[in-house]
Every structure is written in C-alpha cells, then in structure tokens.
Structure 1
Amino acid sequence: MCGINGFNFRDEELIQKMNTKIAHRGPDDAGVFVGENISLGHRRLSIIDLSQMAHQPMTTPDGRFTVIYNGELYNFKELKKELVEDPELGRRGEFNFKSNSDTEVVLYAYKKWGKECLNFFNGIFSFAIWDNQEKELFLARDQFGVKPLYYYHKDGKFVFSSEAKAILEHKYIERKINQESLNRYLRFLYVAGPETMWQDIKKLPAGHFAILKNNNLEIKKYYFLAEGEYLQDEKEIKGIVRKAMGEAVRRQLVSDKPVGLFLSGGLDSSILCAVMAKEFNCPVKTFSIGFDTDVETEKFNADFKIAEKTAKYFGTDHNPIMLTGKDVLENFENCVIAMDEPVSNHIQVAAYLLAKETKKQVAVALGGDGGDETFGGYDRYYFMNQIYRLRKFFPFLKNKKCSDLLGKALGKKNLSEKLSFKDDLELFLSFMAQKEEIISKFLNNDLNNDLNHYLNNDISYKEKYQPYFEAGWKDKINQMLRADMETWLIDESLVRS
C-alpha cells in the first residue's frame, strides 16, 4: 500500500507532517508538491517499477497535471499501449512514458480522458490529480472501496488523506464524535460510510469521484452495480466463474516484488491458492494464523488446520503462525492505532499479526475478502433464503400468530420472529443489527449511562440500507448481496484486511 495526503492551500511543513503520520504506509519513498493553492504528499511502497522514475508526486512535462496515487491498476499495460498508439496524440509524442509504473498511466489517462478515465480502470485505487491550469482538484476511489480516502471540507478548508489520523494533524479540526456514527457502530459493529466516527471527517464513497473547484465540492457516483443476467445452465455458470477467477488472479500477480497469499482455510482463499499454484513456477508462499488454545470448539483453529491441509495439497511454501494470549496483549494497542475507526471483530489482532509476519517475506498478499458477499457465503443468506421459501409456499406464516405457533412447535422462537417480518428491510436488519438490550449487556453501568443518548431511537440506522430494498431487483438474495457488498464489505471486511 501507499499513502496520499493533500489540502487546498500552501503549507510545506504541514504536508510533511501528514506524510510522517502515515509513514508506515510507504517506507520506500516520500515526496511533496507545493503550489499556490495546493499541497500534495505521498508515501510510497514500491510494487511496480522500483526505480526513482516512479517517484510521486508525478507531474506531466507541461506542468499542468500532478498526481498522487495509492493502488494497483491491473490493466495498466493495455492502457499504456492504447495511449502510446493513439492515432492523434501518440504520433506527436504527447504520451512519452518515462517509467514502467501504473502511476504514469493513471496520470496520462486522466490527461486524455478526464474523469471518464475511471471507466477504463481495472484495479484498486484512491488518487488525486491537481490541474494547475483550471485550479481544480480531482479525487477518485475504486469501485469496491479497497483503498481508503478520507476528507474534511469546512470553512474554506479541504483536507484529504488515506488515513483520518493524518487529517487530524490540522489542529483546527475538532475531535468531536459523530453521534449518528456511534449509534450505527453500536448497532452494526462497524462505522458505515460516508460518515466516520469524527463529526467533520467523511469517507469518499466507493465508486465515486470528487471535484474541488473554487472551494465547491462536487461528489458523483461513477460505478453502478447492475443486476446480472440470470443463467440456468450449471456448466455454463461454472465456466464463466472459472474464467473470471483465473483472469482476476493473473492480473493481480503482476508485481516487481514477491507475492503471497493469506490462506484462511475457507473456500475463498483455497480457490485462490488453487489458481495461484497453477500460475507460479515455484511454490506459492502462503500464510495462516491460529490461536494457541486446546478448546475444541474454536472455529478459527478448525480453519487453521484446513489451511495446513490445503497448503500441503497444493505444495505451497506454507507459513503457519500461532497466536498466544501474550501476543494479543503486546500488540493490542498497536492494532488499535493502526485502525482509523473501530471494528468489532474478535480476529482483528490476529489479522494485524498475520500481516506483520507476512510482510517479512512478501510485499503483496492476496486474500479471499469479498467472496462471501459475491457468492452468498454467510449463514444469513442461507437462512433468509429459507425464510423466503417458507413464505412463498406458506404465505399465512407472515401472520404473527401462525409464525408463533410454528416457532413453538419447532422450539425455535427466533424463527417465528423472523417469519413474521412483513418488510424485507426489517428482516435483513434482524440479522445485521444488534438489539439495544444486547448492547447493554456488554457495557458496564457507567458506560451504559454515558452512551444512552447515543442509542437514541430517533436516529435512523435503517436509511443506509433502505435504497437497496427499493431498487426493484428480481432476486431478493442478490438484493441483499448488493447491500452487503456496498456497505459491510467496504466498511467492515476490507477495513480489517
């Protein structure tokens, strides 16, 4: 990963401070660009083109456009070829590439296509481009929000960064809690964007771009996840998925540094392992982590053992890591510091230590995040599908008295409650949101009293999901997958990884 910083006024000392705050994101190189109404900073982790020719900030020879970029553009070679061979511009040598980096491709793609360049990009990214002629700042974030981008816009000041902690280097920005975000965090156990836990700091949503000109900020969505074609032929479906998976993995293996894999033992990362094993000329470096415990019911360790078997089957260079209680205590504070916002997940310290150990051997590691949201891997999808089927064949179960009778007969009170929901959104939230009494159980009395006003029921925590259940998609499960893909995946799963 790399890190980007910037703001809409000149202050070299301050942009250097922001760069220092996110130095861990880019240990290989650092740079700043300071102009009349702009300050840009970059911390670099070299992945493609390790030379100084790929140094950032990077400016076009005419001095008009300057880019800072965090990400990987998987189709940069194809786009570079298209730019070089452009019948109008290529012959004039306007796109005279000096590096082998994808950063330069992003820069020239924007010069040629403007904001439409985003329609050509296949990758993960957050970047900013300053147009010195128009005095305009352009920012963009990838379609699924793999790369973070925070910003502050108030009282004529616009500040942005890969991490919120760098924005807080600006002392005039209040460290005031966003009451609505805290309410949603306690309900959903993560902070749903575009809000953050700070009142005046926001996240640029995934699949969006922003334009700042004359202190006017315009934010627009450029990527829309459409309901796909419904295929019936199982053989055809398998072929399409296998081809897409292979192409996606191959594109992500392009790197000038070693690449590895987080192997959890789950289906997602195991499939990646199978594809990578075919592509590598040497054993794939795989990494997994388990808990040092004898508790047989610990699911995490069951997956850990499956990961070892998977690694053995595919002949990988496997690196198992065992996490002790001491490790958790020693690394907990650093783990919290590394997070910009809280995520309530018991594996967070494990994920932090896994990345820490993996970094010693490889600079890039693929992982299976996003597989559950794409293919319906979570239990809630299965249970909701069962409820939809029961309702379809036995519509009277929507009546609470009937569903209560069934629940009693089966000894499953929870089932009767979910069957009686008439609204799809309410049903979905019953799987996702924590009840107030559950939240209170995990907080001591003093904390409960302090947070009571943050649990105000007048603050709607439903509005984030409402649009997904009004989109009119044919398939209800696909509707829910989309909701998770554009909320939970971005602000919970990918934040952890």
Structure 2
Amino acid sequence: MCGICGILNTDPGSPVREEELRAMTEALRHRGPDDSGILCKGGAGLGVRRLSIIDIEGGHQPIPNENGTVFVVLNGEIYNYMELARALRAKGHAFRTRSDTEVLVHLYEEYGEEMPAHLNGMFAFAVWDADKRRLFLVRDRLGQKPLYYWRGRERVAFASEIKSFLKLADFRPEIQAGSVSDYLTFGYVPHPSSILQDVGKLPPAHCARVEGGGVRLRRYWQPMGEQITLGRNEAEERLRDLLDDAVRLRLVSDVPLGAFLSGGIDSSIIAGLMAGRGDEPVRTFTIGFDERRYDERPYARMVADRFGTKHVEEVVRPDVVEMFEKLVWHLDEPLGDSSAVPTFMLSEMARRSVKVALSGDGGDECFLGYPRHSAMWLSGKLERLPRIFRGMLFGRWWHRVPAPAEQKNPVYRWKRFVRAMDKSALRRYYEWISLFDEKSLDALLASDLKAKRPVESGMYVELSDYSGRMRSDVGKASALDLEYYLPCDLMAKVDRTSMAHGLEVRSPFLDHRVVEFGMNLPDAFKIKRGRGKRILRSAFADLLPREIAKRGKMGFAVPVGRWLREELREMAHDLLMDGLLVGRHIICREALETLLADHMAGRADNGQRLWALLVLEKWLRLFQQRV
C-alpha cells in the first residue's frame, strides 16, 4: 500500500514547485513509511509514499517506461501482475523490476485507456503521459483504495487523502452543505462528492482523463449482467473455485501475512481456504470486549482450532477519549461508523506480527448478509398480503406502543420496520439505513445550512446505476450497498484504520470475478426464509464448523451508547455544546441538547447519531485553520 499525489498545471510552461509536491507527499507518510519518491516534469508532478510489499528493494516509484515518456504511481496491489508481465514481455516490453507497479506503465503503452479492464486488484493509480500531456487516473472496481481530486483555477491535483491538498497554497477548502446533510443521513459522504467543495472522489470502477484543466470521468466496469442459470450444485462448485483462486492470488507477498478472524461466516471461509494453501500455520487475529454481546472471541477460537492457525486474541478496553483525535485525523474525511474503533485497534494488533492481512469484507454485499437485506425480503413478502392483514401488522395502533430506548430491542426494530412500510421499496431502504431520517434531520440542521442544502441531497438511492439493473427489491438494496456503502463506509474505514498502522488489508470476496458471480445469482440461491448467505453456507459446509455455518450476522460493533453515558459523557458535552457545529450555524443547538439529554437519561438510544456528530465536530476542529 502507498499514498500517492500529484499536480498538473494547465500551463505546460509553469513548472510544479518541488517543495510543494514534497509537502503533499509527506502528508501521506503514514500510508507509506518505507520509501518515497517524486517526479516533476513538464508542468506535472507525481509523488508517492510507499509501503513495500512486493519487490521491496526494486519497486521504487514513480516508475517510468523504457524511454521515460510515461510514468506511474500506484497505491494498492495488482494481483494478476505476474500473468500480465509474462504477456507483456512476449509483446516485446522490457521490465527493470519485479514490481507489480511496473506492469501498469507497460499495460498503458499497450492498451492505453482500456488498460483497467485487464487488472485484478485493489488500486488507485496515476499515469503521466508526457508526450500527450495527459494525466490518467484510475480507481479499482469496488473502491477499496481512495482517490480524491481537486480542480483549481490553474491546475488539477489528486491525492489518496484530502489532507494532502491542505499543503497547496491556492487550496481554499469550504464545507459543502449537501455533503453535511448526506453525512448525517448515512454516516458517510457518497461519491462523487466529498465533505469539501471542489474536491471530488473518483467513483469506484471509474477512470479520469485530466488535460487542459478539465477532468473527464468514464466508467470502465459494470458488475450486473445476465442472471446466472447454473443449477445449485454447479453454482456452489463455481463459487468455491472462484473464491479459492481469489485467496490464492492474495497470498502473493514478500512480507509476512495473516488474516482477520471474527468467527463469522466470511472471515472463517477465508481462514479455511488460506489454511489449505500453506505449509506454515495461518496467523489469525481477533479482538474482543468485556461485554459479552460485543465479543466474538469464542467463535473465532473455534475456527482457529479447526484450521490449526497461530491465533492471537486480545480483550481491548480502549481509552476512547485518548485515541479519538488520532482516529479522526486518520479517517481524513468524516466517517460516522463507530466500528472504526475496533478496526483501528485490530489493525494495530495485527501489525505487530504481519504486514498484510486478509479479511472477509464483501461477503454481505454480494450474498445478502445484512439484517436490512432480510428486512427488504420480508417487506416484499408482506406487501402481497391482503389489505386486512397488512392493516393488522402495520396499522396506526403500532404508533401507540411505547418505543424501547435500546435499538437492538425487537420492538424498536419492528416499529422502525413498520414506519417505512407505506413507502416505495427504495425509499423504505433509505429510511432503514439512515442515521437521521428526513424529519429528524430537518430539526437538527440550522437554518443557515438548510438554506444552502441542495434539493437532490441524498437522492443517490433512487438514481443508483447498479440498483436500476436489478430485478428484485432485495437485489436493488444489495446493489446500493455495493455501489455506495461498501466503498464510502466499509472500505474507507478499513483503508484509513489499517494504513494508520502500515498494514495492508486484502479482501478475497471483492475479487471482481466473485462479485460478478454473486451479484448475478438468483435471489433464491442467496436468501431463504429471510436468512441470507444461503449459498455460502452450503458451498462451504464441509469447511466450516457447524456452529459457525449456522450463525447469524453479529457485526463489528462497540458499546458506543454506554461509552457516551459513561467515559465519553464529559467529552461529548464539551465538544458538541461549545463546538464549531453550533458556532458556525451548522447544527441547531436546541435539537442537539435534546439528543444529548434523551440519550444520557436513557429515554432514547442516540449513540450512533451522537458518535457521528462527535466525529464531524472533531474533524472540523482538526481542520479548522483551513476549513
């Protein structure tokens, strides 16, 4: 893994200032502690901080082609680079290194801007074509690696993280009102926007041509195709072959590697497939909490014993007050997912032993593993009931049932389910995944910010390219997760928290071949009677312990509600009530007071909402000198 950045001046006669490019690059040091490199050439500049994984000695970047007219910087890994290198050598290309990065420069020479279609990997990279004075930016199909870009008056810049742009003298960051609204709705800012005006995220599966001061985006991959018509047994065999090969490709490394192990179905499958491919025991890593309902260590231990792994586990008692500022700084852009805390700590623990870890991320999106997928499946079934029965289940009498404060309470969940049943399928899903629904968000936002908020804010749910290609409502929901939740929340969290510790995390379930297969399977292969991951449970029944195969989704959760009533109580009050969100008229003080008071008194469980607000407030304070 690495951190990359660069500048392209509109005027070819205006050289990039080397000291400015070095400052941008150094802002990404945490992403690549092993090596650095810069290039300033013809009004363009490329910078990189490198975490050395493959060809440790020879993979210094930027890497040129044979005659020094094309250069590349890469963040990520190209898993099929050896196969590509053999094919390119056969076509006459000369290689100087064993690095996967060098494959990109020759692939560009051979295929130009069609090159991304040949890649299997997780990546964000930039190619500088000096002859054409063209910068070519590419992000991987599932958005595992980040890439931001900024358009100034006289130049365009790109970087792995927003904080790199703060080193540019003419960068004038301003909060984007629509992005604040989206963040408080979903807990993240959906691509192609960022939290800042004039800064965009290159969406997953997109490339961008940058020339003449303009940025032109193009999609190069689409996972939805014809529905797979294999029988159940053939589909299970095909899935097993694909996932096994995805694991094989992700075991290529010149440094020690291991696996995150939660004891859930996805990470257990990955650990099992890894164990079948090595002479040495797989190193597996698990963290747990004192609170039993947040602790998966017994299940992880069961899997570790099954596969004979070299297992490391820790009970963590995080000093969240002490680590909060460091976590938010590494997140780079506000991210309201409180599971960033355990992911940050798990990455720190794993990095003491390995430099690469495989994970089970991606299985839920492709194989209907989230509880909200079960809710979508159930709502579709219930809609077909006669009106009299629907009235009994969803009638107004439910509004009179007292709402429990605890969000995990079944009555609380049913009331939330019922409230959305009078909406269309996608708007129903929108409500179920929202931190603040439209009514509560309207009460929370200050009038100054509401006046700047665009009407279309949050409407990506209905405009999604992926979900529009799916046949069923539950399929549309999983496609939305794949297109937005996966890259903007899950992958952003994993990337930032792992790179904070110099750890590379690889996800075999996000091999694009596995994703294409999973997304095009019939729903009946993935969900039965509301229970998801059907084909995973059956295809790997002989690999998984029986108790693991039967488990439901637990999630990488933390007791954030309790933290806010106890150890974070004072910090939450001080940060929010005397903070920039209120002072800059972003959030309404009265609504914030009510949120805090109801949570502290136990009248409501506002833990996740308050956590998201705390992250946004701390982010503003860390960046306040420039934002």
When the two structures are superposed, what TM-score results if normalisation uses the length of structure 1?
Answer: 0.90
1:445 aligned residue: none
| Paired amino acid for 2:52 | S
CA distance in 2, matches of 1:122, 1:25: 22
CA distance in 2, matches of 1:457, 1:329: 32
C-alpha displacement of 1:171? 2.9
CA distance in 1, matches of 2:431, 2:453: 16
Q: Which one of 246, 249, 256 corresponds to residue 254 of structure 2?
A: 256
The reply to whether residue 161 of structure 1 matches residue 170 of structure 2 is no
C-alpha displacement of 1:200? 1.8
Whether the 8 Å contact between 1:209 and 1:220 is mirrored in structure 2 is yes
Whether the 8 Å contact between 2:426 and 2:473 is mirrored in structure 1 is no
CA distance in 1, matches of 2:154, 2:284: 48
Gaps of at least 5 residues in structure 1 are 442-447
CA distance in 2, matches of 1:343, 1:178: 15
Q: Kindly tell me: are residues 325 and 66 of structure 1, through their superposed partners in 2, closer, same or farther at Cα, counting changes over 3 Å? A: closer
Answer with 150-159 or 179-188: which moved more.
150-159
| Paired amino acid for 2:207 | F
Q: Kindly tell me: are residues 406 and 251 of structure 1, through their superposed partners in 2, closer, same or farther at Cα, counting changes over 3 Å? A: farther
SS in 1 for 2:175: coil
The reply to whether residue 47 of structure 1 matches residue 29 of structure 2 is no
2:420 aligned residue: 418
Whether the 8 Å contact between 2:383 and 2:390 is mirrored in structure 1 is no
1:323 aligned residue: 316
Q: Which one of 305, 308, 323 corresponds to residue 301 of structure 2?
A: 308
CA distance in 1, matches of 2:31, 2:446: 35
Residues 68-93 of structure 1, C-alpha deviations (whole Å, 9 max, x = no match): 1111111111111111112xxx2xxx
SS in 1 for 2:224: coil
| Paired amino acid for 2:421 | L
CA distance in 2, matches of 1:44, 1:127: 13
| Paired amino acid for 1:56 | Q
1:123 aligned residue: 121
Residues 439-466 of structure 1, C-alpha deviations (whole Å, 9 max, x = no match): 699xxxxxx5757734988633342121
Whether the 8 Å contact between 2:206 and 2:220 is mirrored in structure 1 is yes
The reply to whether residue 465 of structure 1 matches residue 461 of structure 2 is yes
Whether the 8 Å contact between 1:28 and 1:46 is mirrored in structure 2 is yes
CA distance in 1, matches of 2:482, 2:417: 25
SS in 2 for 1:471: helix
Whether the 8 Å contact between 1:407 and 1:414 is mirrored in structure 2 is no
Q: Kindly tell me: are residues 111 and 386 of structure 1, through their superposed partners in 2, closer, same or farther at Cα, counting changes over 3 Å? A: same
2:526 aligned residue: none
1:427 aligned residue: 428
CA distance in 2, matches of 1:171, 1:396: 63
CA distance in 1, matches of 2:388, 2:2: 53
2:368 aligned residue: 376
1:491 aligned residue: 488
The reply to whether residue 23 of structure 1 matches residue 38 of structure 2 is no
Residues 36-58 of structure 1, C-alpha deviations (whole Å, 9 max, x = no match): 2101111111111111x321011
SS in 1 for 2:420: helix
Residues 115-160 of structure 1, C-alpha deviations (whole Å, 9 max, x = no match): 1111110111111111111111111000001010011012122011
CA distance in 1, matches of 2:245, 2:392: 52
SS in 1 for 2:376: helix
C-alpha displacement of 1:386? 0.9
Sequence identity (%): 32
| Paired amino acid for 2:7 | F
Q: Which one of 396, 404, 421 corresponds to residue 395 of structure 2?
A: 404
Whether the 8 Å contact between 1:41 and 1:68 is mirrored in structure 2 is yes
| Paired amino acid for 1:159 | A
| Paired amino acid for 1:11 | R
2:187 aligned residue: 189
Whether the 8 Å contact between 1:404 and 1:417 is mirrored in structure 2 is no
Answer with 96-105 or 221-230: which moved more.
221-230
| Paired amino acid for 2:303 | T
C-alpha displacement of 1:308? 1.9
SS in 1 for 2:192: coil
Gaps of at least 5 residues in structure 2 are 10-15, 402-410, 495-627
Q: Which one of 253, 261, 274 corresponds to residue 276 of structure 1?
A: 274
Whether the 8 Å contact between 1:5 and 1:160 is mirrored in structure 2 is yes
1:12 aligned residue: 18
When the two structures are superposed, what TM-score results if normalisation uses the length of structure 2?
Answer: 0.72
CA distance in 1, matches of 2:132, 2:388: 62
Whether the 8 Å contact between 1:396 and 1:402 is mirrored in structure 2 is no
SS in 1 for 2:460: coil
CA distance in 1, matches of 2:173, 2:237: 51
Q: Kindly tell me: are residues 408 and 17 of structure 1, through their superposed partners in 2, closer, same or farther at Cα, counting changes over 3 Å? A: closer
Map 1:332-481 onto structure 2 (within 5 A): 332-392=324-384, 394=385, 396=387, 403-404=394-395, 412-421=414-423, 423-433=424-434, 434-436=436-438, 448=444, 450=446, 453-454=449-450, 459-468=455-464, 471-481=468-478
C-alpha displacement of 1:395? 5.5
Whether the 8 Å contact between 1:468 and 1:479 is mirrored in structure 2 is no
CA distance in 2, matches of 1:200, 1:324: 40
C-alpha displacement of 1:437? 5.7
CA distance in 1, matches of 2:70, 2:454: 47
2:553 aligned residue: none
2:565 aligned residue: none
2:243 aligned residue: 245
Whether the 8 Å contact between 1:146 and 1:490 is mirrored in structure 2 is yes
Q: Which one of 59, 67, 70 corresponds to residue 62 of structure 1?
A: 67
CA distance in 2, matches of 1:194, 1:265: 34
CA distance in 1, matches of 2:331, 2:471: 38
Residues 89-122 of structure 1, C-alpha deviations (whole Å, 9 max, x = no match): x2xxxx1111111111111001110011111101
| Paired amino acid for 1:339 | L
Whether the 8 Å contact between 2:224 and 2:470 is mirrored in structure 1 is no
CA distance in 1, matches of 2:387, 2:330: 51
C-alpha displacement of 1:228? 4.4
Q: Kindly tell me: are residues 397 and 367 of structure 1, through their superposed partners in 2, closer, same or farther at Cα, counting changes over 3 Å? A: farther
CA distance in 2, matches of 1:143, 1:449: 35
Q: Kindly tell me: are residues 245 and 402 of structure 1, through their superposed partners in 2, closer, same or farther at Cα, counting changes over 3 Å? A: closer
| Paired amino acid for 1:116 | E
SS in 1 for 2:274: helix
Q: Kindly tell me: are residues 417 and 122 of structure 1, through their superposed partners in 2, closer, same or farther at Cα, counting changes over 3 Å? A: same
CA distance in 1, matches of 2:217, 2:361: 27
CA distance in 1, matches of 2:419, 2:249: 46
| Paired amino acid for 2:212 | N
C-alpha displacement of 1:390? 1.8
C-alpha displacement of 1:341? 1.2
* Structure possessing the higher relative contact order (Cα contacts under 8 Å, 6 or more residues apart): 2
CA distance in 2, matches of 1:212, 1:313: 51
Answer with 460-469 or 76-85: which moved more.
460-469
Answer with 195-204 or 410-419: which moved more.
410-419
C-alpha displacement of 1:476? 2.4
Q: Which one of 103, 109, 112 corresponds to residue 110 of structure 2?
A: 112
CA distance in 2, matches of 1:212, 1:192: 22
CA distance in 1, matches of 2:109, 2:395: 63
CA distance in 1, matches of 2:261, 2:46: 37
